[in-house]
Amino acid sequence: MRALPSRRACSGIIPSLALLLPLQVSAQQPSGAAALTEDYFLGDIPVVLSASRLAQPVSESPASMTVIDRDMIEASGAIDIPDVLRLVPGFQVSHISGQNQTAQYHGLANQHPKRMQVLIDGRSVYHSAFGGVHWDTLPVTLDDIERIEVLRGSNASTYGSNAFMGVINIITRKAVQDRGTSVSVLTGYNGTREATLRFGDRVGALDYRITLNGFATDGFPNYRNTHTYWDSTGVIAPASVATGTALAPETTLFELARNDSQQIGRFNFRGDWLLGNGDLVLFELGYTHNDRDNILDNGSYEFNRPDENLRSSSELVKWSRQLPGDRGEISVQASHNRFRFDGLRTDFLIDDLDTGATLFNFGPVLGGSRLRNDRYDLELQHTVKLPGSWRTAWGAGIRVDRVSGRNFTTGDQTVSRWQYRVFANTEKYLDDNEQWVLNAGLMLEHQQELGNFSSPRLALNWRLDGFNTLRIAVSRAFRMPSFWEARGENRLYALDPSSYLAPGIPPYDYLLYTSNAKGPDPERLDTFELGLVSIEQLQGLSFDVRYFREWLRDYIDEVRYKNACTGCDGSAVAGIASHDLLIHDNAGSMDLHGFDLQGRYRINDRTTLHGAASIVWSRGQRVKEKDAAGNVIKTADIGDYVPERTLSALLSHRFDRNWSGSIAYYRMSKMNWPNDGDRLEPYDRIDLRLARKFDLGSGRDAQIELIGQNVRNQEYSEFRHDNQFERRLYLRMRLALP
């Protein structure tokens, strides 16, 4: 009796199901008369889907892409998804705390990186409440991912507003690839432990896979204040240091035991149902919970930040059919995401303020002690070759985002926003030699309360010769304000330190986050791009260079209105005459230009080098403070919100059939993380990975990996000074059974 195929990796199957470009012959041609061009035999150029919704060779894509495939994911030694993104040129990845990370292309990211769209199998996981993505609440694990396509630059013509400065499209593995059972266990740095059970099988025509995952870590082991007296988290410092005294970098003032631990549970289900008529139906379900703890302890005093509980669930159904003849392919996709956040911060603060003596911390989340954020989305897409050889993907969609909760909007109202969209992306060869390729795209959106928006893109690819393609592209994109930016209000009562708090208490003198009546306008980004794509030659080298200019207008940020709220907070705390207001407003603008470079050099069959580099020159200003009448009091330079240089390299080598290893190098120049982040110094980091496979026979195999991050142990800060990233070692074991 034959054994069924196991779940072991077989990445080669994926392109067959999604990216079958090489076979460029119409099925309708009778074989006797078929003109078999060499494409039928030799077509093997990497293709991408994310740029225009059309499967295209990278050289014909209208935008710059980075494709991280299964091999690269494994070679990187990544522990979680953001880790992998460090290999993308121009990306900044940082731990906000021990519990979550932020990732953004070309900076401008606080803990909610709002200017990038993230998709899982075409489903947007962007949070409309705060903007951005909570990576820790995504239901998929690294083992579920087949590849990640990262589009560098705006792509609103394809994915709508919020695909503003980049798009990350996470493509999971087909269920049929993961038949059998696999177990994965990881243990390592500061209480990190993870266990994953994956099971795949078939029932009738339905292939399915279930993943159960548990992850826990104690985060950063300590809280080390090394830079300034008051940092953004407002933790007490020694009374001997005067308020506001700036300290030399790397001066350790004090160190507190820290517990920013988390316990994550994940479940995801994927079903691929191949119907008898050739239709495909995809089902996906996901659920994640993350319980976060926050404790700082100096031995005699414990500073409790509120615990945070996050819940996330999602459902997706996608039906697709290949239409007869040349009528193309049609698909309908419906999805729903729900995100719930429960942080007891406000309750905690008010209670402690009553005592008048307790030190407190507002925590890293800006607002919303409890909220529920839903997104419902329905989309139709038709891919077809129109007369005149216009290969086109067009469609329409409708979406509603809804947020409800406590201390999030004025009067704790439930707010919602409907969005309607129509889009088309098309591609055409302009000459018989297929040297000139025109890509044009347009997204038309109506956003409730915000208006109508059109996001166009025009790109022209010129194949200079067989290896090199030059691309020129212009585009416009919009970013809709998140609900927090547009409608948020959070009453965080605090005290005036000059009149109330004792020396040594953090000088918080605000807070009332609120919104103005109109809310900010959407941000706008105009982009010009010049790219050179060089595909692999006989020597095994491929690379692409992107020169870009970006003009960001109507930049949204917090503007502090001094003493603008007199008696409007409703606080019962005595002694407060007036408050500052923090209002999200169109506060400034920014211009960026620079180069991205990425390359791959296949040194031989066993050794591959990936490299990525970015250099960005940016300048911009924002309004920081206004008086109650709206006059500007203070502005701030925001050019340093974008690091000038980022660099990464990954060298992977297969020693023999069983042993493999890799070394990764990361470097980022100094950067000022906006809002709740800090101004940080440059860092270098080297990661190592060594893996051994074991063939246990009978279709069973195992693998042991030793992963070292920052192996030189040259500590550096991520996002905030207190997030000191030291050497981290992990051991991961995998067992696959038929």
Partner 1 sequence: MTRICHDQEGTLRPHPRQLVAWLCALTLGCLISGSQAMAAGSAPRPQVLLLKSAGMARYDQVETAFRAQITAQCEKQPRCPGVTTATVGNKSDTGIASPALVVAVGHKAAIAARSSYSELPQLHVMVSRVEYRERPRASALSVIYLEQPPLRLLRFTRYLLPDHRRIGVLLSPGSPWRTEIEDAESDDNDDYLNIRELDSGREAGRAIRTMKQQIDVLLALPDPLIYNRNTLGAILLTTFRNHIPVVGFSKGVVNAGAVAAVFSSPRTIGEEAGTRALALLAGARPALQYPDRFEAAINRRVASAMHLDLPSDEEIAAWKDAP
Q: Is 203 in the site for partner 1 (CB under 8 A)?
A: no
Q: Is 173 in the site for partner 1 (CB under 8 A)?
A: no
Provide the phi-psi class of 190: left if phi over 0, else alpha when psi is between -120 and 50, else beta: left
Strand partners, 421: 397, 445
Residue of 448, 537, 566, 713 that binds partner 1 (CB under 8 A): 537
Contact of 241 with 503, CB cutoff 8 Å: no
Region near partner 1 per CB under 8 A, out of 183-191, 252-260, 535-543, 582-590 = 535-543
SS3 41: helix
d(C-alpha 193, C-alpha 735), whole Å? 16
Q: Is 3 in the site for partner 1 (CB under 8 A)?
A: yes
d(C-alpha 718, C-alpha 651), whole Å? 24
Provide the phi-psi class of 451: left if phi over 0, else alpha when psi is between -120 and 50, else beta: left
**Single-letter amino acid code for the residue at 482:** S
Closest CA to 288 of 501, 103, 144, 460: 144
CA distances from 49 to 19, 425, 696 (A): 8, 12, 37
Query: Site residues for partner 1, window 102-131 (CB under 8 A)?
Result: none
Q: Is 17 in the site for partner 1 (CB under 8 A)?
A: yes
Q: Is 589 in the site for partner 1 (CB under 8 A)?
A: no
Identity of the residue, 39 or 591, whose beta carbon is nearer to partner 1 in the bound complex: 39
Q: Is 30 in the site for partner 1 (CB under 8 A)?
A: yes
Residue of 7, 123, 370, 479 that binds partner 1 (CB under 8 A): 7
Q: Is 540 in the site for partner 1 (CB under 8 A)?
A: no
Residue of 400, 430, 460, 535 that binds partner 1 (CB under 8 A): 535
Q: Which two tokens stand for residue 691?
A: 């893996």
Q: Residue 649 CB, nearest distance to partner 1 (Å)?
A: 25
Q: Is 702 in the site for partner 1 (CB under 8 A)?
A: no
d(C-alpha 52, C-alpha 157), whole Å? 8
HSE of 50 in the Cβ direction (CA atoms, 13 Å)? 31
Q: Residue 88 CB, nearest distance to partner 1 (Å)?
A: 23
d(C-alpha 683, C-alpha 700), whole Å? 42
Q: Is 637 in the site for partner 1 (CB under 8 A)?
A: no
d(C-alpha 321, C-alpha 324), whole Å? 9
Residue of 58, 176, 494, 552 that binds partner 1 (CB under 8 A): 176
Q: Is 20 in the site for partner 1 (CB under 8 A)?
A: yes
Region near partner 1 per CB under 8 A, out of 11-19, 92-100, 239-247, 671-679 = 11-19
d(C-alpha 555, C-alpha 110), whole Å? 14
Q: How many C-beta atoms lie closer than 10 Å to residue 416's C-beta? A: 16
Q: Is 5 in the site for partner 1 (CB under 8 A)?
A: yes
Identity of the residue, 42 or 517, whose beta carbon is nearer to partner 1 in the bound complex: 42
Residue of 8, 112, 417, 626 that binds partner 1 (CB under 8 A): 8
Q: Residue 275 CB, nearest distance to partner 1 (Å)?
A: 11
Identity of the residue, 14 or 511, whose beta carbon is nearer to partner 1 in the bound complex: 14
Closest CA to 91 of 101, 721, 588: 101
Q: Is 603 in the site for partner 1 (CB under 8 A)?
A: no
Q: Residue 25 CB, nearest distance to partner 1 (Å)?
A: 4
Q: Residue 428 CB, nearest distance to partner 1 (Å)?
A: 15
Q: Residue 383 CB, nearest distance to partner 1 (Å)?
A: 12
Identity of the residue, 200 or 519, whose beta carbon is nearer to partner 1 in the bound complex: 200
Q: How many C-beta atoms lie closer than 10 Å to residue 543's C-beta? A: 16
Region near partner 1 per CB under 8 A, out of 36-44, 362-370, 554-562, 612-620 = 36-44
Q: Is 696 in the site for partner 1 (CB under 8 A)?
A: no
d(C-alpha 21, C-alpha 478), whole Å? 32
Identity of the residue, 205 or 239, whose beta carbon is nearer to partner 1 in the bound complex: 205
Q: Is 191 in the site for partner 1 (CB under 8 A)?
A: no
SS3 192: strand
Closest CA to 573 of 349, 352, 348, 353: 353
Q: Is 38 in the site for partner 1 (CB under 8 A)?
A: yes
Q: Residue 463 CB, nearest distance to partner 1 (Å)?
A: 6
Residue of 247, 274, 317, 378 that binds partner 1 (CB under 8 A): 274
Site string for partner 1, 300-329 (x = CB under 8 A): ----------------------x-------
Residue of 203, 246, 248, 538 that binds partner 1 (CB under 8 A): 538
Identity of the residue, 382 or 562, whose beta carbon is nearer to partner 1 in the bound complex: 382
Q: Residue 19 CB, nearest distance to partner 1 (Å)?
A: 8
Query: Site residues for partner 1, window 467-526 (CB under 8 A)?
Result: 467
Name residues whose C-beta falls within 8 Å of residue 67's C-beta, 6 or more positions apart in sequence. Answer: 46, 48, 58, 147, 148, 149, 150
Determine how β-strand 101-105 pairs with β-strand 145-152: unpaired
What would the 3-class secondary structure string for 347-399 be? HHHHHHHHHCCCCCCCCCCCCCCEEEEEEEEEEEEEEEEECCCEEEEEEEEEE
DSSP calls for 438-480:
EEEEEEEEEETTTEEEEEEEEEEEEE-SSSEEEEEEEEEEEEP
d(C-alpha 651, C-alpha 342), whole Å? 42
Q: Is 37 in the site for partner 1 (CB under 8 A)?
A: yes
Query: Site residues for partner 1, window 43-72 (CB under 8 A)?
Result: 43-44
Identity of the residue, 49 or 365, whose beta carbon is nearer to partner 1 in the bound complex: 49
Express the helix, strand and coil content of the chain in percent, nearest 5 each.
10, 55, 35
**Single-letter amino acid code for the residue at 244:** G
Q: Residue 8 CB, nearest distance to partner 1 (Å)?
A: 5
Q: Which two tokens stand for residue 726?
A: 């030291």
Query: Site residues for partner 1, window 457-476 (CB under 8 A)?
Result: 463, 465-467
Q: Residue 432 CB, nearest distance to partner 1 (Å)?
A: 7
Identity of the residue, 436 or 617, whose beta carbon is nearer to partner 1 in the bound complex: 436
Identity of the residue, 36 or 386, whose beta carbon is nearer to partner 1 in the bound complex: 36
Identity of the residue, 323 or 357, whose beta carbon is nearer to partner 1 in the bound complex: 323
d(C-alpha 623, C-alpha 406), whole Å? 29
Query: Site residues for partner 1, window 428-457 (CB under 8 A)?
Result: 432-435
Q: Which two tokens stand for residue 271?
A: 């079903």
d(C-alpha 151, C-alpha 117), whole Å? 10
Query: Site residues for partner 1, window 655-684 (CB under 8 A)?
Result: 657
Region near partner 1 per CB under 8 A, out of 149-157, 172-180, 359-367, 585-593 = 172-180
Residues that bind partner 1 (rule: CB under 8 A) add up to a total of 64
**N residues, the chain:** 738
Q: Is 207 in the site for partner 1 (CB under 8 A)?
A: yes
Q: Is 604 in the site for partner 1 (CB under 8 A)?
A: no
Query: Could you list the residues that contact partner 1 (CB under 8 A)?
Result: 2-18, 20-27, 29-32, 34-38, 40-44, 176-177, 179, 202, 207, 274, 278, 322, 432-435, 463, 465-467, 535-538, 605, 657, 699, 701, 738
